Each structure stands twice: as structure tokens, then as C-alpha cells.
Amino acid sequence: MAKQLTIFLENRPGRVKSICDVLQQAGLNIWAFTIQDRGEFGLVKLIVDKPSQAQLVLAERGFACALKDVLAVTAPDQPGNLSKLGTALLQKNVNLKDAYGFVSPSDKQGICFLEVQNNDGVDIAALLTEQGFRLMSDEELYEL
């Protein structure tokens, strides 16, 4: 399971930079990021190269941050893939709580990070493989 770092930040200038500075000083690398905005504050979500260390370093500086399990899913870049993914999850009553992703133009691979609610204890890895997707293993992800 990939680890996503979620950080609570006030919505005002300089906050995102402050996290980036801390991570940079610790020699850590950010691979993906997105912000869930709630007006006065937001949740910044990061995929980093060393999640546990990143959390420690940020927590030491006083940030409210938590690690969450997310699925790192990959598939070749093809139209309709996201729809296929959605159908597969729906059929097994798996709820998608959060998702973000991108396609790497150079190798035409799509990677997305999914937070799911697995209501019925389904074998998600098997489910995804059937549909032509691949769950990235930790080694694979953290060797990116």
C-alpha cells in the first residue's frame, strides 16, 4: 500500500511553501501533490519518497499531519480507462473516497492514487488486475 501524507494547512500565503521548505531541508522528494480546499483551510496531500520520515519531520515542526493508505494504480494510457476502473469498483461495492492521478507523457503510463472504502473486504489487487490495471508494489513505487 502506498502512503499518502495529509497535512492540515490554513489557507493563506506561504503555508504550502513552509511544508516544502521543511521537506527540502530533510532531503525528501515530493512526487505528487494536490490540495483539498475548504475555504479557510485545506488538506494538502503528498506522495513523497520517504513517507514515515516526512511525517516525523513535519510533526516535529508542529504540523498536523497523518499518513493514509492509498492504492497506487497504474495502466497504459488509453481512452476509457478511468471509466473501466470506476465500473470495476462499482460492481464490487467499493467506494472511491478520493483520487488524483497523472499520465507520464514520455512513457504513456498513467498512475493514480486512490483512497477507497472497501465495504465488503474485496481483493482489490485481483479486481484491478482482471481489468488490466496494476497495483504498484511498494518497491516499484519507491524506486520511481
Partner 1 sequence: MEFPFWSKDIETMDRARLEQLQLQRLRDIVGYALKTPFYQKRLAKVWIHSPDDIKTLADLRKIPFTVKDDLRQSYPKGLLAVDMEQVVRVHSSSGTTGVPTVIYYTRDDLNRWTDLLARGIVASGATSKDIFQNMMSYGLFTGGLGLHYGAERVGMTVIPVGGGNTQRQLQIMKDFCTTALHITPSYLLHIHQRMAEFGIKRSELALRRAYMGAEPHSETTRQKLQDLYQIDIFNCYGLSEMNGPGVAFECCCKSDPHVWEDGYIVEIINPVTGEPLPDGEQGEVVFTNLIRHALPLMRYRTRDLAYIHAEPCPCGRTHRRLSRIQGRTDDMMIINGVNVFPSQIEEVLMSIPEVGNNYMIYLSTHEGLDRLTVKVELYQKLFTGDLSQIDSLKGKIKDKLRASITINAHIELHEPGSLPAFEGKAKRVVDERIRL
The residues, any chain, with a CB within 8 Å of residue 101's CB and separated by 6 or more, are 73, 110, 111, 112, 113
Which one, 64 or 144, has the nearer CB to partner 1? 64
How many positions of this chain bind partner 1 (CB under 8 A)?
19
- Continuous H helices in 10-123: 15-25, 51-60, 81-91
Residue 43, interface with partner 1 (CB under 8 A)? yes
Binding to partner 1 by CB under 8 A, coded x per residue (else -) over 49-78, reads ----------x--xxxxxxx----------
Which one, 62 or 79, has the nearer CB to partner 1? 62
**Residues, the chain, total?**
144
Residue 2, interface with partner 1 (CB under 8 A)? no
At its nearest, how many Å lie between partner 1 and the CB of residue 123? Answer: 25
117-132 burial: b if 16+ Cβ within 10 Å, else e: eeeeebebeebbeebe
> Restricting to residues 7-36, which ones interact with partner 1 according to CB under 8 A?
8-10, 15, 36
List contacts with partner 1 (CB under 8 A).
Answer: 4, 6, 8-10, 15, 36, 38, 40-41, 43, 59, 62-68
